[in-house]
Structure 1
Amino acid sequence: MSLVGKFASVGGATMVSRLLGFVREAMIAGALGAGPVTDAFYAAFRFPNLFRRVFAEGAFNTAFVPLFAKEVEGGGNEAAQKFAEEVLSVLFTVLFVFSALAMIFMPFLVSTVVAPGFVSSPEKFELTVLMTRIMFPYLACMSLMAMMAGILNTMRIFFLPAVVTTLLSVFQIIAIAGGMLLGIGDETMGTWQAWAVFFSGLVQFGVLAIAVRRQGLRLRLRLPRITPEVKRLLILMVPALVTGGVTQINLLVGQIIASLQENAISVLNFADRINQLPLGVIGVAVGVVLLPELSRSLKAGNFADAQHLQNRSLEFALVLTVPAAIGMVVLPGPIVSLLYERGSFSAADTAMTAAALAAFATGLPAYVLQKVFQPGFFAREDMRTPMWFSMISVAANIALSLAMFPFLGHVAIALATSISAWVNVVLLAMTLWRRSHFRPSSVTVRRCTMILLSSAVMGVVAWWLGHALIEPAMGEGLVRKAASILGTIAISAVVYLVAVVLSGGIDKGEIKRSLRRRRA
């Protein structure tokens, strides 16, 4: 399978997950609105989710995948299985102890880290503590699942680890639908959501553990020991703990500040959910595929292939994220209104969410470009350089959030997150260039330039259609409003596709090859 085919495989599975996530978020918005229970649930969920992304998908995976790929390339499945069992035993022990301590001291953590602003509302605070305790074991399940996914990705199995993430939304949708049918109260609905998260984690880990076993790796728990290989993993993880979780750390900082403004956490989450669709589809696809592929190429000494992988990844990232970002900046209000404005979600909630969405969208290309540039360091087992850049980015985010919050409110948090992401990208790209680890080819530079110009043309068309088609339909019924918004998006997309193909922003040969493979 080609690199683009692998991106498409992971991206397609991730898109299903994100679309189900939209269904889930729309149901939560309709059932609970942007109220205290929604605030409590998202605050509670973000805490274990933060550690999952920082530790499991961030530090652990970025350190584990290159080392596991090295074992596969050098010693085959036998050496890889031995290394995986040693890591699994240590990982399981650490997760068990950490989860137990976190659940015991959860009231303290909620009052100091998760949502300090909730202390003034005892009921909201207690509900947040309860839901965080229920969901915290999800971290352990997802960390173990991340290890299974890393093993499968190194073996070039990408679709199953990506599609299994849809189970989180499936479990939550079932819980919401059941609660609405039974007419349960808001607090009970929030608690049901927490239990749905917990059980989905167990099932996701179980599915991937079975898949790894079917690949011939029958992993067993051993007595945990810090072997030289495990020690190397831990050394690489220390800086990666900072690097891999920079976006989540930024979001947590934003949540702490947002807890001072009523309903700010909810509207930021709703806006970020929309922003996460292209980010998840493209960013996750690039991150999941590029790191193991780049690691194997560098271990094999194939530097030309490594350059090719990075060039194609850069093109793939920009060809989809730039037009998506411009679309969300130009049409944030109509997009939010179509997706969320019903039931308890008011026009005022739409206005707040749209402002946050536009601010988040300005950083969308940067979020994805991080996934393109960071593997250039991780695959070479250099975790420290991205760590320092991430620390600079976090400092910029905190300073900007605090400086702008009194003037812009919740929008300041989204905007600061975007600016800090661009700071990180510039530092990563400049360092790779200076070290001659990656310099875009002339073909890639030309294609990226055409992508930017084609996206600008699309943005002008979308802005004009927004005034001509969408504004007159906003006061009409849902059908006319949806038709005008979806029609505008469809026309803009066609304009962009025609422009980018005719200008050479997309490799026409790759399109023809993909079509031939589909016919075959």
Structure 2
Amino acid sequence: MSSSPQPTVAKAPSLLRSGAVVGVMTMLSRVLGLVRDVVFARFLGADAGADAFFVAFKVPNFLRRLFAEGAFAQAFVPVLSELRQNNAGSALKLFIDHVAGCLGVSLLAITTLCVVAAPLLAVVFAPGFYFDNPEKMALTGDLIRITFPYLLCISLAGFLGAILNSFDRFAVPAVTPVLLNIVLIIAAVFVAPRMGEPAMALAYGVLVAGVLQFSFQLPFVAQLGLLPKPKPVWSDPNVKKVLLLMAPAIFGVSVSQINLLLDTVLASFLPSGSVSWLFYSDRLTELPLGVFGVGIATVILPALSRQHTASSEHYSSTLNWAIRCVLVIALPATVALVVLAKPILFTLFQYGEMGVRDVNMASVSLMAYSLGLPAFMLIKVLASGYFARQDTKTPVRIGIIAMVANMGLNVLFVVPLHFGWQLGHAGLALATCASAFLNAGLLYRGLLKSQAFVPENNLLRFALLLCVASLVMGAGLWFSLQYLPSFEVLGWLPRIGYTALFCMAGFAVYVLVLLLLGVRVRDFKPNKT
């Protein structure tokens, strides 16, 4: 592999182009994910089997986000970028081999242990099933035993993706999740109806998809000359550095995921269907978060790592650019999802096994989750600012504060008070949003205090203009809805037509108001600070 010097600064066109590539590929994956969820609603609905599968799928998926996409990636990429920046040559390849060995051994041990202890995991992640529905609890344990090996495959796929991202090969890791959605759609449509328990077909689909996602990226890593030859060498100083950075980063980068997991645990004590309602509403919130929030954070982390290593003045400018890009998407998406929650859910999910009551209940949690979308997206970007500097301790301290706040708010919003009121599953979503804003605010304040980040003078004004345009768009959508019949009584074709019309009209109004307020394309180019 060539050891030629790598460019220190990622220029604006490079970031914009890379962001666009990741956005398009991720959008493809998310759209297919949405199709997948529509299929789930059609064939599973929100019954006991669906609740069991969503818990069984969330357990390895949660750990994947915690380790593969979360703590591991945020610790591994800066160290790899540092070696690349210093033209480490063969040392870089040796580092990858050592990390691959240590990661592989650890994942194999965890997977084996958790497959054996699957019934116990079911109790831990859905304790309400144990008390209220023993059959659902038993099914959840069986499904976890099938889905958990997915963690091994997808974490190794995340490792390969982190290597590709470090070398600015963003497209392949971004498009890899498409395979999961394709396999699960096939399993739901063609296999599930032929099985006594449809959820079993989806569980096996998860496992097959994990193997495919790992295998898909191998040839692209081989093209870089970096195909890992696993050698578990724990004494490697760079491996130790990754482990040191990874331990606190487990909390720092994945607090929102831990909060969502707490939602699932508490939802298991609520009426049947609560887990599924939260799943469907969370999936819609994940669409803009995954396409833009995670995409932008993925693109800027290698650039920020190189810039920090070289003491570049562009570090702060890159963060400002990322914050502007997040806000321009998150604010209108929040308003649109709140206003159009019911129309969107009726259009996508109210078919087959998914009843009207299920849609109405899911719409409440969707509105609550949507309020936290700007915070969810900002956390991804702001956390990257810390991890690029190899500072994982500060985010973990902030993350613990946010988690404690979330637990307290869960009790306040969900557990019935002496007044006799509670918010149910929507309270879980609302508590998650509030703790996300606390998390994002503390991360932002910490960056300011460190003096590593200097916000642009016009950042606040820019955010206010976006708020005005978003509110104007939301008001227009709300008034237009008053003149339409309820989506509950419409057929599928009118639902699709009206929803598409609302999305296009809302986008047009938002852009038009921004232009009238003086916002231009040049506002999305990094400024030198």
1:230-255 per-position Cα deviation (integer Å, ceiling 9, x unaligned): 11111111100111221111011111
The Cα offsets for residues 442-461 of structure 1, whole Å up to 9 and x where unpaired, read as: 24333222212111111111
1:232 is aligned to 241
> Is the 1:275–1:357 Cα contact (8 Å) retained in structure 2?
yes
Whether the 8 Å CA contact 1:246–1:394 is kept in 2: the answer is yes
Shift of the alpha carbon at 1:509? Answer: 7.6
- Larger % of helix: which? 1
2:368 aligned residue (346, 359, 374): 359
What is the match of residue 36 of structure 2?
A: 24
Q: Percent identity?
A: 35
Alignment CA distance shift 1:389-1:509 (3 Å): closer
Partner of 2:145: 133
- Structure 2: runs of 5+ lacking an equivalent: 1-12, 417-421
Matched, 1:484 2:498: yes
Using the TM superposition, name which of 321-330 and 2-11 deviates more. Answer: 2-11
Q: Which residue is 2:173 aligned to?
A: 161
- AA aligned opposite 1:492: G
CA distance in structure 1 between the aligned counterparts of 2:168 and 2:486, rounded to whole angstroms:
50
Q: Name the residue aligned to 1:6.
A: 18
Deviation at 1:313, TM superposition (A): 0.5
1:426 alignment counterpart: 441
Mapping of residues 78-477 of structure 1, within 5 Å:
78-111=90-123, 113-120=124-131, 121-179=133-191, 183-185=193-195, 187=197, 189-261=198-270, 262-302=272-312, 304-405=313-414, 406=416, 407-468=422-483, 470-471=484-485, 474-477=488-491
C-alpha distance in structure 1 between counterparts of 2:153 and 2:195, whole Å: 29
Quick check: 1:462–1:489 contact (8 Å CA) kept in 2? no
Q: 1:330-360: per-residue Cα shift (whole Å, max 9, x none)?
A: 1211111111111111110111000000000
Shift of 1:482: 2.7
The 3 A distance-change label for structure 1 pair 456 and 76 is same
Match of 1:224, SS state, is coil
Q: What do the CA deviations read for 1:419-453 (whole angstroms, capped 9, x no partner)?
A: 01000011011111122221221243332222121
Q: Is the CA contact 1:473–1:484 (under 8 Å) kept in the aligned structure 2?
A: no
2:511 to 484, 497, 504: 497
**Residue 474 of structure 1: CA displacement?**
5.0
Q: Distance in 2 between matches of 1:128 and 1:506?
A: 51
Instruction: Say whether the 8 Å CA contact 1:45–1:135 is kept in structure 2.
Output: yes
- Structure 1 counterpart of 2:403, which letter? V
Post-superposition CA distance 1:242-283 (Å, at most 9, x none): 112211110111111100121100010011111111111111
Q: Measured at CA, do residues 473 and 377 of structure 1 come closer, stay the same or move farther in structure 2, by a change above 3 Å?
A: closer
More moved, 356-365 vs 307-316: 307-316
Structure 1 CA distance for aligned equivalents of residues 88 and 520 of structure 2: 38
Q: CA deviation at 1:4?
A: 1.9
**Cα shift readout 1:191-247 (whole Å, capped 9, x = no counterpart):** 111111111111111121221111111321224332221111111111001112211
Measured on the aligned residues, the alpha-carbon RMSD in Å equals: 1.6
2:5 matched residue in structure 1: none
Q: Supply the AA of the counterpart residue of 2:441.
A: V
Aligned residues: 505
SS at match of 2:230: coil
CA distance in structure 1 between the aligned counterparts of 2:112 and 2:194, rounded to whole angstroms: 30
- Residues 34-90 of structure 1: CA deviation (Å, up to 9, x unaligned): 101100000001011111111111110110000000011113442211111111111
The CA distance in 1 between the partners of 2:173 and 2:208, in whole Å, is 17
Shift of 1:472: 5.7
- Uncovered stretches (5+) of structure 1, i.e. residues with no partner: 512-520
Runs of 4+ displaced beyond 3 Å: 443-446, 470-474, 508-511
2:194 match: secondary structure: coil
Q: 2:171 corresponds to which letter in structure 1?
A: F
Deviation (angstroms), 1:185: 4.2
Q: C-alpha separation between the residues in 2 aligned to 1:150 and 1:492?
A: 36
Separation in 2, partners of 1:275, 1:329: 10
**Alignment match, 2:7:** none
Partner SS, residue 367 of structure 2: helix
Q: What is the TM-score of this pair, normalised by structure 1? A: 0.94
| Deviates further, 437-446 or 209-218 | 437-446
Question: What residue in structure 2 maps to residue 515 of structure 1?
Answer: none
- Hey, what's the Cα distance between the residues in 2 that align with 1:229 and 1:472? 59
1:80-119 superposed Cα distances (whole Å, 9 cap, x missing partner): 11111111111111111111111111111211x1111111
Contact 2:325 2:524 in 1 (8 A): no
Give the corresponding residue for 1:518. none
Letter in 2 for 1:21: G
Q: 1:92 to 1:473 in 2, by over 3 A?
A: closer
TM (norm. structure 2) is 0.93
CA distance in 2, matches of 1:205, 1:258: 32
Q: For the residues of structure 2 that align with 1:510 and 1:414, how far apart are their CA atoms?
A: 31
The 8 Å contact of residues 172 and 197 in structure 1, kept in 2 or not, is answered as yes
Point out the more displaced range, 209-218 or 437-446: 437-446
Q: Is the 8 A contact 1:103 1:133 kept in 2?
A: yes
Cα drift, residue 146 of structure 1? 1.4
Letter in 1 for 2:511: L
Query: For 1:479 and 1:503, how far apart are their aligned partners in 2?
Result: 36
